[in-house]
Structure formats: C-alpha cells, structure tokens
Amino acid sequence: MHSSAGPPLIQLAPMEGVLDWVLREQLSAIGGVDRMVTEFVRVTDKLLPDHVFRRYCPELEQGGKTRAGTPVFVQLLGGQSGPMAENAARVAALGAPGIDINFGCPAKTVNRHDGGAALLQKPERLYEVTKAIRAALPAEIPVTAKVRLGFDHKEFHREIAAAVDEAGASHIVVHARTKKEMYQPPAHWEYIARMKVGRRLPFLANGEIWGVSDYHACALASGVERVALGRGLVRRPTLAHEIRAEILGVTASYDFEPLQFLTEFFASTLAYRGEAYAVARLKQMLRYWAAADATAALWFAQAKLFTQATQAQDFLRERIRESKCLPLPFTPASPTALSANAPRLC
C-alpha cells in the first residue's frame, strides 16, 4: 500500500466540498486506500500562487502524503495546455507526488470556461493537455487522468482512452457515465472493458460502488480490478478495507469507531475553519451516513437543526455515552471487523 509509483489498487475519487484534507486525513488513518487526490484546482491562463496549492493540498508540507503515509496527487482542471503544464510543474516542485487531470467535471461554469468534461467532446484536447503536463514534469512524477465516457454521448469512449494513453498518462480513472448523465444511476461499467482493448495503461473503474457486491459487479462488467471510490467511501469509511480484503482473499481488519470518527472530524474542522463550517460539515457527513444506516438517520434528524459548535459537541458526547449500551452504525461484513465494531453490553 501507499506507493506513488505503481498504479493503486484502490484510490480515492476526489470530491470537491467533501474530500478536503481533514476528511482525507481521517480516511487515510482508517486505511485501505493506496492513493488520494485533492479536490480540483482550477487553472485558467496564469500560474497560481503557491498558497493556493497549499490550501488545496496541505499535505505538500509533509512530502505530499497524509500523516498515515498515503500519497496525495493534486488534481488540476483546465483546458489550456500551456498554463496547465506550468502549474503542474510548479505543484510538483512544491512536493506533489503526482498530478491528476480532471476531464470529468460536469459543472456548467467549469464547462463554459473550457474545462472538465467539456474537453471530452474533442479527445485530441485530452491528448494535448496530458502530453503538455507529461512533458513539463520530471519522469518520476506520474500524471493520471480522470475521465467520463463522453460529453453528451458515448461514441468517443475509445478515443478518450487512446488520447490519454498515447499522451503518456500513468493510469486512467473512468467514471462510467457521460457528462449528460451527471450522477444518474446506473454507471455503465461495461464501457470500460471496451476502452481497455489495445491499451497500455492501467484502468481504474469508478461510479456507483457502494458496497462489496457493487465492486464484484463492476469488476465483472469492466474487467478491471482496480477502483476509485468516492461517495461510497464517504458513506462507509471501511469500504476500501472491505474491497481490498475481497481482492486479496483475506479477512478485513480495521479500526473504526463511528462516534470517535465524527468527534475527531468535528474537532479538526472546527480548528480549521470555525463553527459554521464545522457544523455544516458534520451535517454533510451524517447526511451521507443516514442514507445507508438507520442509527445515522436518527443522528442526522437531530444534527440538522444545529447552529452552534456546543450543540454538536454535546450531541456527540451524549451519543458516545449511549453507545456503551446501544449498537453503533455500520454492521460490519466480516468476523474480524465484527469484533472491532461490536456493540458493548451495559
């Protein structure tokens, strides 16, 4: 685990406004993820000041890794190859272990300004941007690309893979939907199998992997064993461990206690950006968890009314006290994990 050289088995799929350094730090401490990626940094026509890169990726101050040692690639988004290459070279000089390029963002403002998924309409643009970044970086710094199957149709899916492969990307993450499909299920994993034909570079499948059974369905349809996990990992922070255990044929083993996780998350976000932000992030996290877990749904129903840090802190303290009697969320899938997470009896 934790290498920036070879392709990762399990990578974090970046999520703007969700997977900031605080959450990366906590997920990395639980483990199971080989590589992480920052939220996208938008590049226009200029070299960005260093503080922007450090804000998106404070891990640069510690060698481009989380404290637990997971490498963090910096993701750039933009359509102009010159500035993209210049910014990539700068962020590599600041210590990024790799650069990821965002060719998948569906946001209208981003696409209007020639970035993200807009480039999928002309696969040669993916080639130009990837090639320019590759040429601007030392050989040992990998460049990776995150794509969708197309913009408003899937006809170019093979050209999209060919473009980033021929431009020298080290791997490609395919979010198996078009831009037009946004986040609408299902993910069309079977297209990844077609994109792979004749390609040199490793593929990671992405989209709609919420549990181990989704992982198996995705691997079967795509013919790819490597994955990038986004919302599924936020919803279930042990998911990477569970999938890794399946791939390696071992029993999942991890240390995860939901209330402790939330308490640390809240304390870190409070210290980082203050009360309003910390309260909002706690609610956001519980909303993700609530979608899959009845206990978390009850917690969210209460937490969504909070406006102050003290309410959140009192709430978490009270839940911790209660948890000594009641089952915690996340009924684990494996016997080892069961003992790690077993509810304690009064």
Ligand X SMILES: Cc1cc2nc3c(=O)[nH]c(=O)nc-3n(C[C@H](O)[C@H](O)[C@H](O)COP(=O)(O)O)c2cc1C
Give contact residues for ligand X (rule: CB under 6 A). 13-18, 39-40, 75, 102, 104-105, 146, 175, 206-209, 229-232
Task: Write down the least CB distance from residue 118 to ligand X, Å.
Answer: 13
- Shorter beta-carbon distance to ligand X: residue 141 or 173: 173
Task: Write down the least CB distance from residue 175 to ligand X, Å.
Answer: 4
Q: What distance in Å separates the CA atoms of residue 244 and residue 11, rounded to the nearest whole number? A: 11
- Shorter beta-carbon distance to ligand X: residue 100 or 293: 100
Task: Write down the least CB distance from residue 56 to ligand X, Å.
Answer: 10
Q: What distance in Å separates the CA atoms of residue 289 and residue 312, rounded to the nearest whole number? A: 16
CB-based closest residue to ligand X? 230
Task: Write down the least CB distance from residue 235 to ligand X, Å.
Answer: 9
Based on the residue annotation, tell me whether 346 is a catalytic residue of this protein: no
Q: What distance in Å separates the CA atoms of residue 233 and residue 231, rounded to the nearest whole number? A: 5
Contacts of 271 (CB under 8 A, 6+ apart): none
- Shorter beta-carbon distance to ligand X: residue 17 or 198: 17
Cβ(97)–Cβ(72) below 8 Å: yes
- Shorter beta-carbon distance to ligand X: residue 11 or 66: 11
Q: How many CB atoms lie within 10 A of CB 135?
A: 14
- Shorter beta-carbon distance to ligand X: residue 209 or 303: 209
Contacts of 329 (CB under 8 A, 6+ apart): 258, 289, 293, 294, 295, 296
Cβ(169)–Cβ(161) below 8 Å: no
Nearest by Cα to 332 from 237, 266, 267: 237
**Catalytic: which of 105, 218, 325, 346?**
105
Task: Write down the least CB distance from residue 295 to ligand X, Å.
Answer: 23
Q: If you ran DSSP here, which 8-state letter would residue 122 be given?
A: S
The alpha-helical segments, DSSP class H, found in the chain are 21-30, 50-56, 81-93, 108-112, 123-136, 157-166, 190-196, 212-222, 231-235, 239-248, 258-273, 275-290, 294-303, 309-323, 335-341
- Shorter beta-carbon distance to ligand X: residue 95 or 230: 230
Task: Write down the least CB distance from residue 75 to ligand X, Å.
Answer: 6
Q: Do the strands 10-12 and 36-37 form a parallel or antiparallel pair, or are they unpaired?
A: unpaired
Would you name the residues annotated as active-site residues?
Answer: 105
